[in-house]
Structures are given as C-alpha cells and as structure tokens.
Structure 1
C-alpha cells in the first residue's frame, strides 16, 4: 500500500472520502479550513495512493510547547478494516518523528489508538480543550514534553 503526501489534485477526493467516512459531518470543511491556517503542515497531510483514506496533523501546542494535533483521519467505508487506516497512522507518525516533533495528540478510541503507542493524555498532565473529551484524549511522545492544556490549530475552535 502506497502512502504519499496530498497534492492539489487530491482535494476533491479527500472531501469525498471524508464525507463518506464521517457521514457528511463537519470534518471535510475542517480540513479545508486547516489548509488555509498557519498551523497547516503540508508534509503531514497524507493519502492512500488512490485516496481511499486521508490523515492530517496540524500544529498545536501543549501550553507554549509545539506539538501536533492528529485528525481527522478517514477511510472510505468500503475499505475500512483493510489496513488503510493503520498504514496512514504509521506513515504520519513516522513523518512526525522524522520532522523532530515531540508529541502527537488526538481524540479517539483508546482501544484502537493504543496499538500505535498512544496513552491517555491525562497520565502526562495534558488537558483537552473540552473537559468532556478527557476519556478519549490521548498522546504519543517522541521527545520530552511537560504537561499543560492542549490547543489545536484555530479552525478546530469553529467546530
């Protein structure tokens, strides 16, 4: 399975797969808004070669320390449970580590994301922007990080 950086030609396909995966929720619009934000990191917006899936990490902060916010991640419903999501996760985490990033934060199922080395962010004193997210708020570290409140790129505040 080939994972690569998104190109401008992929944007419509990314919208389609994201809308299908999230049942036309706000995630596709969020990705469009993230592309226009200063927190956008082009080399961390990855697709499965045929755009059967997409993942993105954008600049976030733990207190004043740079970190990454992972998400949304989407896989076309007809291709879920076929390894696309796992391949995207491994690729984006490898790319983040290669860039020298210290931490990746996400909101998602602890049962699923623990296989990628994520642990509950509260264990490290990292708090989510919304208190109710805490049972699903997770962190993966590549370097030393201190605790504190996490903030996503600004477009997440519009959700």
Structure 2
C-alpha cells in the first residue's frame, strides 16, 4: 500500500470510496465542498501497490478555535474512508498516522474529530483533550489530539469550515 497526496484526477475514485464506506453520499459531498472552498488542507489517499486502485482516503480541513484576542487554527479530521472490501486491513490506520505526521510537519497545534471512541484513542485522540472546547458536539465521540502540548488548555469556541454547515 502506498499513501500519497490526493491528485485532482483522484476525485471520482475518492467520491466512490467515501460514499461506499459510509453507505450514503453526505460525506462524499462534504469532501467535494471542502475541496471547492479551498479547505482541503491535507488530503491523502491509499493506493493498492499491485492494482494501482485507490482503497482509502482522508481529509483534514482548517478549524478555528476562537479565544479572547486570538484565533488558533487547528485541523478537523473528516472524513477518513476505506473501501468496504479493504476495511480491517490497516488502511485507515495508515492514513490516520500519515495524516497526523503531515499535520505535525505543517505545525498544526491540534487535530479535532468526531469519531468512534473505541477506535481513535489508539492514535492519541481523547475526549478529555477536547473538553475545554465549546463546540456543536460533546461527549466521548468528540475528541482531540494536541500536537503542541497544552495547545487546547485555554479552550475556545470551535468554528468548522463552512462546508460542514455547522
């Protein structure tokens, strides 16, 4: 498996992967809106080395955390998708790890996500790290990973990219 940056010619395959992974087109349309708005900050794909087919994708978009006198720009991880016939093969994990590394390289202070509370902690995400944030979501599925220690300690109000519609 090769993890690489998504290219414009990957758009149709990514749409198919995301729609099939989620069983609906909502998340695929989100990816297209984020791209159209210029908010696909990190977009990676997993490519099968033997067939050359795309088997997974992940997207990170800018996420503002507004605080008195400042705005911290973090990243939202959404969505990560793996073709159903390749789920449980480590594709999603590889995409998430590669995305986190690119986020570190880009000096993002934190990554925020809404996801399965039994899955994402293995990558360092936790609900406790997101507790200080005022967001449209809460609870064990709303998680954060601080790439810069203490980045979220001061809290703030979360503002997603416009494509999310929240």
Q: TM-score, normalised by structure 1?
A: 0.91
1:14 aligns with 2:14: yes
Q: Which structure has more RCO (C-alpha within 8 Å, separation ≥ 6)?
A: 1
Cα distance change of structure 1 residues 149 and 121 upon mapping to structure 2, 3 Å threshold: farther
SS at match of 1:118: coil
Matches within 5 A, 1:45-64: 45-49=43-47, 50-63=53-66, 64=71
Is 1:149 the equivalent of 2:152? no
The CA deviation string for residues 61-119 of structure 1, in whole angstroms up to 9 with x for no partner, is 12221000001110000000000000000000000001111000000011100000001
Tell me if structure 1 keeps the 8 A contact 2:20–2:84. Answer: yes
Q: 1:16 offset after TM fit, Å? A: 0.4
1:111 aligns with 2:124: no
Count residues with an aligned counterpart: 154
Match of 2:80 among 73, 77, 87: 73
Distance 2:118 2:37 in 1: 31
Aligned residue in 2 for 1:32: 32
**8 Å Cα contact 2:130-2:143 kept in structure 1:** no
State the SS of the aligned residue for 2:89: coil
CA contact (8 A) 2:60 2:75 kept: yes
With structure 2 as the length reference, what TM-score do the two structures score? 0.87
- CA distance in 2 between counterparts of 1:25 and 1:147 reads 33
Aligned to 1:91: 98
- Does the 8 Å contact 2:130/2:142 carry over to 1? no
Give unpaired runs (5+ residues) of structure 2: 48-52
CA RMSD of superposed structures (Å): 1.5
Runs of 4+ in 1 over 4 A off after TM superposition: 121-124
**Partner SS, residue 88 of structure 2:** coil
* Gaps in structure 1 of 5+ consecutive residues: none
Distance 1:48 1:3 in 2: 5
Please report how far the alpha carbon of residue 134 of structure 1 lies from its aligned counterpart in structure 2 after TM superposition.
2.8
Distance 2:64 2:124 in 1: 20
Per residue, is there more helix in 1 or in 2? 1
